[in-house]
Structure 1
Amino acid sequence: MREIVLDTETTGFDPETGDRIVEIGAVELMGHVATGRTYHQYINPERSMPEEAFQVHGLGDDFLRDKPKFAEIGRAFLDFIGDAKLVIHNAAFDIKFLNAELKWMNLPQIPWEQAIDTLAIAKKRFPGSPASLDALCRRFNIDNSSRTLHGALLDSEILAEVYLELIGGRQPDFALSAQPQRTADEPHTDWVPKPRPRPLDPRLSEREAAAHAEFIGKLGDDVLWRQI
């Protein structure tokens, strides 16, 4: 299963009032394991960077001026994510901005159901507790000391670690221990398999049995097989 852990940085809070994306960072997971493949792009927002946003992200007008506009990277971004699930902290925010940018380019929108919201998962698992990325790093003992400024790729890498902890740790059991879920239209049944009316015929030949007995006889009287 392919998943993309994703984060965006923006000039503000609402694309409908002129705010734009200035950075996208993403990390690819396959079967909940990082592949080493990433996507990272700074973007010219075609507007000035507000002072408060500069303080958070450290991205100023001079730095962003020569970066590509979203219209120049939108298609490549869609090609990278494909139809993979998008793991995002507070997914509504990032999807809102991404879809606004894609709409202005007349490109396909990202379906809401394609996103996995780690903020919602955290709030469900730890109701009433802080659920910010920093708070979850503290809870799971994940080192985020390099997160002095908000950076999309770094935040994605940290979020990937948080996500794996939220779904059951770095080695999830892949639902092998989970009970099968019955669909709504599946009839209820308490059926259990019955024992065979006749045991299966042994597949061990007489020659193989004799060879095994001879081998055990050479091991002494205290071997496990003689006590069974």
Structure 2
Amino acid sequence: MGFNPFVQFVRGIQGKLQTNMFGGMNSQNPQHIAFIRQMQRELENTDSMAIPIGNLNVAVFDIETTGFYPDKGDQIISIGAVKIIKGKVSEDSFYSLVQFEKPLSNEVKELTGLSEDDLEKAPPLSEVLISFFEFIKDMPLVAHHANHEKSFMQHSCWKLFRTPFKYRILDTSFLYRIADSNRALWRLEELCEFYSIPVANRHHALGDAKLTALLWCRLIEQVHKLGYSNLKEVYERLARFG
């Protein structure tokens, strides 16, 4: 799985710098232009599928949102991410609230601990996404039950940048279905408890990203013990047996 699509994504943003896509910032914004050009110089088309599974560096991320349906107006209100380098969770992390100027539902307030005051002065989503992409660069992404993250990232990138979200997100469930296919545990806290990972800061974007990263590392260990050396072999196993 090479990350040439990331090159296309960055070039797509570069082509859009002629318009006011970054909260009114125009094509002369030196920081964004420098970022785009540096990314183009640094990107390599690495085949992540063939990298030994214990050496695969990834960025694990999580988002908190106002609901489940971006096409119906639900929005991202925070993003958290942490890197895994050679099988170990790094201290290198990313976290940002996202500006939201409407009332939050009581359910979201109770679940996330966030309030309208927290989000009113936060940076807009366009700026947060640029900072997030700068943090992850061309690293593969990982999320727990990734359809939620994927749908919001796709919707946001198209709405803000008119650019498709080209990252492929690796889902923890891919590994879990191989590591322990006989157990019906799906919620993040259930899986963490099963693998003796202390659950803390649940429903906080960075907290959940860290829990997912620890879970990913444990699943990688389990899958490796079963004889799978890279993601290509994992995907082939899933394709054969579902």
Normalising by structure 2, report the TM-score.
0.65
1:21 and 2:90 correspond: no
1:162 and 2:215 correspond: yes
Q: Per-residue deviation at 1:15?
A: 0.5
Q: Aligned residue for 2:204?
A: 151
Q: Per-residue deviation at 1:9?
A: 0.3
The structure whose residues are more often helix, as a share, is 2
- Find 2:95's aligned residue among 20, 40, 43: 40
Equivalent-residue separation in structure 2 for 1:61 and 1:126 (angstroms)? 41
Equivalent-residue separation in structure 2 for 1:22 and 1:73 (angstroms)? 10
Q: What amino acid does structure 2 have at the position aligned with 1:115?
A: I
Task: Classify 1:108/1:127 alpha carbon distance in 2 versus 1 (closer, same or farther; 3 Å).
Answer: farther
Normalising by structure 1, report the TM-score.
0.69
Equivalent-residue separation in structure 2 for 1:38 and 1:109 (angstroms)? 25
What does 1:183-222 correspond to in 2, within 5 Å?
A: none
Equivalent-residue separation in structure 1 for 2:77 and 2:97 (angstroms)? 6
Q: Per-residue deviation at 1:80?
A: 1.6
Percent identity at matched positions? 26
Equivalent-residue separation in structure 1 for 2:145 and 2:114 (angstroms)? 22
Q: What amino acid does structure 1 have at the position aligned with 2:158?
A: K
What does 1:99-178 correspond to in 2, within 5 Å?
A: 99-106=154-161, 108-111=163-166, 114-124=168-178, 125-144=180-199, 146-147=200-201, 149-168=202-221
1:105 is paired with a residue of what secondary structure?
helix
Q: What amino acid does structure 2 have at the position aligned with 1:122?
A: Y
Equivalent-residue separation in structure 2 for 1:176 and 1:102 (angstroms)? 34
> 1:105-145: per-residue Cα shift (whole Å, max 9, x none)?
11643336x2110134324433451221111111111111x
> 1:61-92: per-residue Cα shift (whole Å, max 9, x none)?
12111111102222221222222111100111
Q: Per-residue deviation at 1:44?
A: 1.2
- Larger RCO (alpha carbons 8 Å, 6+ apart): 2
1:66 and 2:66 correspond: no
Q: Aligned residue for 1:211?
A: none
Q: Per-residue deviation at 1:177?
A: 7.2
Aligned residues: 176
Q: What amino acid does structure 2 have at the position aligned with 1:154?
A: G
The answer to whether the 8 A contact 1:90-1:120 is kept is: no
Q: What amino acid does structure 2 have at the position aligned with 1:121?
A: L
Equivalent-residue separation in structure 2 for 1:151 and 1:67 (angstroms)? 16
What does 1:73-88 correspond to in 2, within 5 Å?
A: 73-88=128-143
Equivalent-residue separation in structure 1 for 2:147 and 2:98 (angstroms)? 20
1:163 is paired with a residue of what secondary structure?
helix
Q: CA RMSD in A?
A: 2.6
Equivalent-residue separation in structure 1 for 2:71 and 2:142 (angstroms)? 24
Equivalent-residue separation in structure 2 for 1:17 and 1:136 (angstroms)? 31
> 1:165-199: per-residue Cα shift (whole Å, max 9, x none)?
11225x957x6979x97xxxxxxxxxxxxxxxxxx
Q: Return structure 1 stretches of 4+ with deviation > 6 angstroms.
A: 175-178
Task: Classify 1:17/1:167 alpha carbon distance in 2 versus 1 (closer, same or farther; 3 Å).
Answer: same
Q: What amino acid does structure 1 have at the position aligned with 2:100?
A: P
Q: Per-residue deviation at 1:17?
A: 0.8
